Chain A
Amino acid sequence: MNRLGELLGSTTRGNLIEALALSDRGLTAYGVARAYHMNVAKVYMEVKRLEGLGMVRSVKGDRGKEYELVDDNLRYLALKLSSRVQTYDTWRSPESRRARFRMGLAPVPQFSVIERSTLIDATQRRMPGELENLAILGRKKFDAKYHRLSERSYDHL
């Protein structure tokens, strides 16, 4: 279970919130379930529960009902605890290494070793807008830490 899932007491909830936090647009329950290899019905139940709590809102999208995170504080917490935005403590753990392989920082395609070695899925899984969000987050953190003195010179705050 990832750290967000541990905090929230549910892997499905953790993955769902992480996916919505990383994306800059609404996601369908089916899309999240597929990206994280989760049961669609479970994700659907979870997203309805979060919608009932007012943490998630639904909007009508091209592919049916899409969900967005409402609370920016929850988004920030999710990004902080996300296995895609890691702390040094978890960096070297076997679980973290597996997560990196899965998530694309060190992408290794999935193979089946049963019978003949077969490539199952070589595509990387990035949420829509995930890289943009990471870049914006990175810049915000950089600006909060360093004060620009001149074009290529910064003072550590």
Chain B
Amino acid sequence: MITYSRVKRVVLETDDPTERKIRFMALLTSSLPKGRRRPVLAGGSAIEVYLDGTLRTGDMDVVYNTKALKEVLKAWKFSLGGGLRAWANEELGLAVDVVGEDYSGSYERVTTITTEYGPATIMGIEDLIVKRLASAKFWNVPTDLEQAFLLAKAHDDSIDWEYVQEQSRKTDIGDYLARLKAMLAKGRK
């Protein structure tokens, strides 16, 4: 496992909070056993990466085996914060939400960013869009529709829309996908 002093040096070397998250994910991946599925950065932090900090979020939702992830976090001086899943390290300015190992997206669509500290795996844009649309519809969070729009608009050229369509049908958010597409079409005019 990579030592905490190295993690601290690498993470704090940059002032850019999104960069810190990428570096942390890369170091985390390098510290976990090889051969298994890699930890995946999901949720708002993944959107933050795709928009390179244009949208800032708080904690990092990490999908991985809970036991193994907690061991590394403890070794890196993270402690359990307010929630049951949120681990925080004030010194690094990072908080990790241990989501569990059930990845609800498609592993085929994750994005891998190669860094000098290892690879960082980010949830696929398509799955993030679907999640945000579902949250907008079922949890009535209007900013999630905005976030889906930001992602779709920024990375329109690399999105597998057929997959998004299919997932939207399965999760019954076709109406929100239509709203998103209308927003995108309006922006193109």
| A positions within 8 Å CB-CB of B | 85-88, 91, 104-107, 124, 129, 131-132, 134-139, 141-142, 144-146, 149, 151-156
CA distance A116 to B151 in the complex (A): 40
| B positions within 8 Å CB-CB of A | 15, 17, 20, 22, 49-56, 58, 93, 109-116, 124, 142-143, 146, 149-151, 153-155, 158, 187
* Known A91-B56, A131-B150, A142-B50; further 8 A-B contacts with Cβ < 8 A: A135-B153, A138-B50, A138-B154, A139-B155, A141-B52, A142-B155, A151-B158, A152-B111
Q: Is the CB of B52 within 8 A of A138?
A: yes
15 contacts between A and B (CB under 8 A): A91-B58, A107-B142, A131-B153, A134-B51, A134-B150, A135-B51, A136-B153, A136-B154, A138-B53, A138-B150, A142-B50, A142-B52, A152-B110, A152-B124, A155-B113
Contact partners of B15 in chain A: CB under 8 A: 88
Contact partners of B142 in chain A: CB under 8 A: 104, 107, 124
Interface of A is mostly: mixed
Q: Is the CB of A141 within 8 A of B153?
A: no
Q: Which residue of B lies closest to A139 (CB)?
A: B154
Of B49, B50, B53, chain A has the most CB atoms within 10 Å of the CB of: B53
Q: From residue A57, how far is it (CB to closest CB) to chain B in Å?
A: 23
Contact partners of A124 in chain B: CB under 8 A: 142
Knowing A131-B149, A134-B55, A138-B55, say if A105 contacts B116 (CB, 8 Å).
Answer: no
Q: Is the CB of B143 within 8 A of A105?
A: yes
CA distance A73 to B108 in the complex (A): 40
Q: From residue A102, how far is it (CB to closest CB) to chain B in Å?
A: 13
Q: Which residue of A lies closest to B93 (CB)?
A: A88
CA distance A19 to B38 in the complex (A): 42
Contact partners of A154 in chain B: CB under 8 A: 111-114
Contact partners of B113 in chain A: CB under 8 A: 146, 153-156
CA distance A156 to B116 in the complex (A): 8
Q: Which residue of A lies closest to B54 (CB)?
A: A138
